[in-house]
């Protein structure tokens, strides 16, 4: 496999850290940056080493399918300039596939029955989980909605939203400073918990 990658026969490699003969990091260094690499492992402590070797992404096992798709899409975006266009392979007359428009907002349940409030993604500074409801912190305003932080996280795009703590989701677009494990959003300091150690590296990469 290493020889195959060194010869430039692969554009993208999903690489495990723990392998029989070489570690994933050793494989990565020997491959000579011939392919884009996504590291997969159950050990978050290797994330910094991976990013220092310019990997595309770092996936922690067990890997949710949505997280896998995000990494694959990111890699394909980076590879787009060197990959052949798809349309000629389908034939000149093949119709272009429709692209779903990006949704830049969410609707959250309000304080009365059948009331839903529209909140634009760009306006969300961070989200705070409080028991059975969450607070969306917007510029000069807070919006409360009765759902769990986990439920809300599933409706927010990643990036720019990143869960850094069991009680917090931050928007990378509004992080103005990262000091150690602490991102600053306006004057709010939010510590990254040990459970979300991978988030520390994503904060500084903005991904």
3-state secondary structure at position 120: strand
The encoded tokens of residue 83 equal 């990959």
pLDDT one-digit tens code per residue, 174-188: 877 776 666 677 767
Whole-number pLDDT of residue 8:
72
* CA 199 to each of CA 7, 40, 43, 134, 183: distance values in angstroms, whole numbers, following the listed order: 34, 15, 13, 20, 10
Mean pLDDT of 21-45: 81
CATH class of 2-90: alpha beta
Contact yes or no for 59/40 (Cβ under 8 A): yes
Contact 49, 71 (CB under 8 A): no
Q: What CATH number matches the domain at 105-205, 2.40.50.1020, 3.40.50.300, 2.40.110.10, 3.40.30.10?
A: 2.40.50.1020
Q: Are 139 and 125 in contact (CB under 8 A)?
A: yes
Rounded to two decimals, the pTM is: 0.48
Domain edges within the chain: 2-90, 105-205
């Amino acid at each position: 496999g290493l020889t195959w990658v060194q010869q430039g026969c692969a554009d993208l490699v999903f690489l495990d850290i723990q392998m029989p003969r070489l570690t994933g990091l050793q494989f990565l260094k020997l491959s000579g940056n011939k392919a884009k690499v996504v590291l997969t492992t159950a050990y978050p402590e290797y994330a910094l080493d991976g990013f220092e070797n310019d990997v595309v992404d770092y996936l922690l096992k067990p890997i949710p399918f949505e997280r896998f798709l995000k990494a694959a899409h990111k890699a394909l975006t980076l590879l787009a300039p060197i990959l052949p266009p798809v349309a000629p392979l389908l034939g000149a007359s093949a119709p272009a596939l429709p692209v779903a428009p990006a949704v830049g907002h969410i609707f959250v349940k309000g304080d009365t029955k059948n009331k839903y409030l529209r909140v634009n993604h760009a306006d969300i500074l961070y989200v705070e989980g409080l028991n059975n409801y969450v607070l969306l912190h917007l510029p000069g305003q807070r919006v409360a909605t009765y759902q769990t932080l986990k439920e809300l996280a599933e409706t927010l795009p990643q990036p720019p939203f990143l869960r850094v703590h069991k009680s917090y989701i931050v928007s990378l677009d509004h992080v103005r400073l990262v000091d150690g494990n602490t991102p600053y959003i306006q004057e709010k300091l939010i510590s990254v918990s040990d459970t979300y150690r991978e988030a520390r590296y994503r904060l500084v990469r903005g991904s």
